[in-house]
Structure 1
Amino acid sequence: MTKTDSNLWQSSCEEVVSALPLDGDLKVDLAIVGGGFTGCSAALEAASSGAKACLMEAHEIGHGGSGRNVGLVNAGLWLPPESIAEILGAAEGSRLTGHLANAPKRVFDLIRRHGIACEAVNKGTLHCAHSEVGFEDIADRFRQQAALGAPVKLLDAAETQQRTGSPVFHGALFDGRAGTINPLSYCRGLARAAEAAGARLCANTPAIGISRTGDGWKVATPGGAVTARALLLATNAYHEPVEGISTPQTVPVHYFQVATVPLKGGHSDCILPGGEGCWDTALVMSSFRRDAAGRLALGAVGNLGGVGGSVHRGWAQRMIRWLFPALGDVGIEHAWCGRIAMTGDHLPKILAIGPNAYACFGYSGRGIGPGTTFGTLTAQALLKDDPSLLPLSPGEHHGESFSGLRSAYIETGAVLTHAVKVRG
């Protein structure tokens, strides 16, 4: 296997954005901390509306989960609509579900409008049933989505094999709204568009202190300070300690991916011929898709950089052979890993961290659609001082008990599963 930090999206990213460290003091309407999907979407929305915005990223734009994502542009969350409504209540659940049902359209519209070069393929996704129980799960999800008018279709095993090229699944749920992208290219394309609209982007600019100043906020960095009327904290799973602001509470979960050499001709032509992206119903979930060059990218829960890294690598090779036996042994060209910010109820959060200030986090592995939606709508809400524009009512507190132990438990389960069998 190749080294752990060989990120496919980094090597194939076509978008370039110039973002120098902050040097001096700046006064804006909206200060944004975090340069991922949420932060870049917020900066683009603010600048496009004529507001002054400054985005500060501790590393490079897209350094965190946005640059390590699987690249599936999904509608909705891991939870089906009825479960969301049960947790949030009917009205609030419908509000969130409605916004996220429209998330793929929002993403692909932004890609088209700003000419973002990110290998965008809007041909749907397949939620694949790894067992009979898994098929019962996707059948229920189909019922719920169809009741809301979603363009979904329940596929039997034969059609699933035809669409995926794999004989192992019991069926699949096809969602025509969804698709795939190079997530790092998309993130940097959003940033490039935001900069063109007038936003100030500051990479390698960690926020070291956040405080109230008058009727606004002050974000201190090593190179200067940004004062603003409104503040958005958009660090999600890659939050670094900042004096004056509590760390958003989540359960960090690692997700790794490997990518093969480009597959061309022969049996490879039967693998995802329609261009869908896939994930399965297994307890230790896995995903697979292809990129523009024909590589097969396979992902799963697990930390390649941890003690179980070699187990995860071995599993990935076995999984590819099991999914697509006709391929035989195929070379692995890339391997990389990222962090997901999970929450106990698997729902994203918006916290009111002070007057005219919000923190958005906890997408639980669904970063692209929700991140874009939350960033865009939160920027609108902050600039117009109108919380009703948010996709979710803000809370004032959110805690996660024993997050470190729960994270270790998930990783241990992934290692044990990957050590003894192909699917979870």
Structure 2
Amino acid sequence: MTASANLWTHTNTEAVDARPLDADASADLVIIGGGFTGCAAALEAARSGASVVLLEAQSVAHGGSGRNVGLVNAGLWLPPEEVVAIMGEAAGPLLIEALGRGPETVFALIRDHGIACEAVQNGTLHLAHAPSGFRDLEERYRQGNRFGAPLQLLDRAETARRTGSERFHGALLDPRAGTVQPRAYCTGLARAAAGLGAAIHEQSPVTRVARSNGAWQVEANGHRVRARRLLVATNAYHAGAEGAYRPQYVAVSYCQFATAPLTAAQRAMVLPGGEGCWDTALVMSSIRTDAAGRLIVGGMGNSEGAAGAIHAGWARRKLKALYPALADLPFEHHWRGRIAMTRDHIPKVVEFAPEAYAVFGYSGRGICPGTVLGTAAARALLGAGAEALPLPVLPAYAERFTTLLGGYYEFGAALSHAAAPRLPV
């Protein structure tokens, strides 16, 4: 296995002309960050006829968007009644409805712009790792259907048929959802935006942000972009710059391990319908396949950190427990990404200055919320106002003890993975 060899980088066939910023520029909207949020915003701004400049410090989808599991899930990680309890009876249902339409928004963009990203809309499976997990799914099924989601509760036998594993106690199927190659999807958004006139610049780290005479001035590579409106879309990969707003969140790692491609016979057994899956365990894990038939096992934790060997050992044991016949199949790729987690697991839109938004905090649900909120943020900034967003715009947002909590989550993941042989899979 090649250390840190990101499968999504290896298999991405989408490309965008995104040369480094090499001259001063002006635009209606300047975006910092080339992930799902920034690229969706750039596409919407260009589609509406606005001029837009996007500045990415590394490459498009370098951060969490290019390291994502690739599950195009509807809604948030939280059950809908918890969303309403946190946000209120007016705001909660609006966000639930908007993100419930999220998969169709994503797949429509893929169709409309011909994005080559291995898109499969055959649903996702939320897997019960234990009897207690199935009870949790029964409650999520009740709540989801109450809010109009076409969820299906599957028994143990049907779950085994769909996954090819006997280890799960049932599942919740969301037929709206699906999977994509996430780096390709994000790159395709950028390519589509560039095709409509957006200026996309990679290798253009922002070094200074200031507001002067009613406009934003953003500096990168020694050059200046002047724009009336600003969107900060860096999420968990915010690098910081003089005068720039810094989103606050807890950074949590998630790692993935991809096998060699399965044989035709193995592919017919393992997730034959192509659903993407994650489980109900407190330290969550995921399984899915890609277009070439690789099986991808993911879990909380930093496989590139001090506990990397623990996480890698867990992935091998997890594969053996789920699919004994595949126990010796080699892992050919592994990588990890950072998740921006907020304390209430609700995304945040902060208007930190006039005509300037920061959007962040997807808590592991980046594809649909990033696409939906990036698109809506562009509309809001370009004239539609805060009403274009499906959640309230905050004047400020703060998190406490972020570094301490990030370390706590990594320790918990490492402890859980080290003890995995003695716990239910």
Partner AA of 2:148 in structure 1: G
2:212 corresponds to 1:213: yes
Partner residue of 2:223? 224
Q: Secondary structure at the match of 1:188?
A: helix
Partner residue of 1:83? 82
Distance in 2 between residues matched to 1:223 and 1:199, nearest whole Å = 21
CA apart distance, 1:266: 2.9
Partner residue of 1:112? 111
Partner residue of 2:15? 16
Kept in 1, the 8 Å contact 2:2–2:332? The answer is no
Partner residue of 1:95? 94
Distance in 2 between residues matched to 1:12 and 1:246, nearest whole Å = 34
CA apart distance, 1:385: 4.6
Deviates more, 1:215-224 or 1:305-314: 215-224
Kept in 2, the 8 Å contact 1:129–1:171? The answer is yes
Q: Secondary structure at the match of 1:31?
A: strand
Distance in 1 between residues matched to 2:76 and 2:15, nearest whole Å = 30
Q: Secondary structure at the match of 2:171?
A: strand
Query: What residue ranges of structure 2 are gaps of 5+ in the alignment?
Result: none
Partner residue of 1:142? 141
Deviates more, 1:166-175 or 1:390-399: 390-399
TM-score normalised to structure 1 length: 0.98
Q: Deviations over 1:150-208 (max 9, x none)?
A: 12100010100000111011100000000000000000000000000000001100111
2:200 corresponds to 1:201: yes
Distance in 1 between residues matched to 2:104 and 2:83, nearest whole Å = 21
Kept in 2, the 8 Å contact 1:70–1:183? The answer is yes
Partner residue of 2:277? 278
Kept in 1, the 8 Å contact 2:8–2:183? The answer is yes
Q: Deviations over 1:68-103 (max 9, x none)?
A: 000000000100110000000011001111110010
Distance in 2 between residues matched to 1:214 and 1:147, nearest whole Å = 50
Distance in 1 between residues matched to 2:325 and 2:156, nearest whole Å = 18
Kept in 2, the 8 Å contact 1:205–1:223? The answer is no
Q: Deviations over 1:197-232 (max 9, x none)?
A: 000001100111111121221111123111111110
Q: Secondary structure at the match of 1:392?
A: coil
Partner residue of 2:338? 339
Partner residue of 2:154? 155
Kept in 1, the 8 Å contact 2:80–2:147? The answer is no
Partner residue of 2:185? 186
Kept in 2, the 8 Å contact 1:289–1:297? The answer is yes
RMSD in angstroms over aligned alpha carbons? 1.0
Partner residue of 2:303? 304
Distance in 2 between residues matched to 1:311 and 1:65, nearest whole Å = 22
Partner residue of 1:354? 353
Partner residue of 1:247? 246
Q: Output aligned runs, 1:286-297, within 5 Å.
A: 286-297=285-296
Distance in 2 between residues matched to 1:287 and 1:158, nearest whole Å = 20
Partner residue of 1:388? 387
Q: Secondary structure at the match of 2:50?
A: coil
CA apart distance, 1:334: 0.3
Query: What residue ranges of structure 1 are gaps of 5+ in the alignment?
Result: none
Q: Deviations over 1:342-379 (max 9, x none)?
A: 01001100000111110000000000000000100000
Q: Deviations over 1:376-409 (max 9, x none)?
A: 0000000015110012111112111111111111
Partner residue of 2:321? 322
Q: Deviations over 1:44-73 (max 9, x none)?
A: 000011000000000011100000000000
Task: Tell me the number of residue pairs that the alignment of Structure 1 and Structure 2 aligns.
Answer: 423
Partner AA of 2:264 in structure 1: G
Q: Deviations over 1:231-265 (max 9, x none)?
A: 10000000011111231110000000000000013
Distance in 2 between residues matched to 1:221 and 1:208, nearest whole Å = 6
Segments of 4+ in structure 1 off by > 6 A?
none
Distance in 2 between residues matched to 1:223 and 1:176, nearest whole Å = 48
Partner residue of 1:27? 26
Distance in 1 between residues matched to 2:184 and 2:103, nearest whole Å = 16
Deviates more, 1:3-12 or 1:254-263: 3-12
Kept in 2, the 8 Å contact 1:129–1:170? The answer is yes
CA apart distance, 1:24: 1.4
Distance in 2 between residues matched to 1:149 and 1:87, nearest whole Å = 19
CA apart distance, 1:120: 0.2
CA apart distance, 1:324: 0.9
Q: Secondary structure at the match of 2:143?
A: helix
Kept in 2, the 8 Å contact 1:356–1:385? The answer is no
Distance in 1 between residues matched to 2:253 and 2:291, nearest whole Å = 25
Partner AA of 1:381 in structure 2: A
Deviates more, 1:263-272 or 1:99-108: 263-272
Distance in 1 between residues matched to 2:147 and 2:48, nearest whole Å = 32
Q: Secondary structure at the match of 1:345?
A: coil
Partner residue of 1:122? 121
CA apart distance, 1:3: 3.1
Partner AA of 1:298 in structure 2: V
Q: Deviations over 1:110-168 (max 9, x none)?
A: 00000000000000000000011111111111101111221210001010000011101
Distance in 2 between residues matched to 1:275 and 1:238, nearest whole Å = 30
State, as a whole percentage, how many aligned pairs show the same letter.
55
Kept in 2, the 8 Å contact 1:268–1:327? The answer is no
Partner residue of 2:378? 379
Deviates more, 1:185-194 or 1:220-229: 220-229
Kept in 2, the 8 Å contact 1:4–1:304? The answer is no
Deviates more, 1:308-317 or 1:237-246: 237-246
Kept in 2, the 8 Å contact 1:168–1:323? The answer is yes
Partner AA of 1:248 in structure 2: P
Kept in 2, the 8 Å contact 1:4–1:337? The answer is no
Q: Secondary structure at the match of 2:90?
A: helix
Q: Output aligned runs, 1:163-182, within 5 Å.
A: 163-182=162-181
Q: Secondary structure at the match of 1:256?
A: strand
CA apart distance, 1:421: 1.1
Distance in 1 between residues matched to 2:172 and 2:374, nearest whole Å = 28
Kept in 2, the 8 Å contact 1:34–1:233? The answer is yes
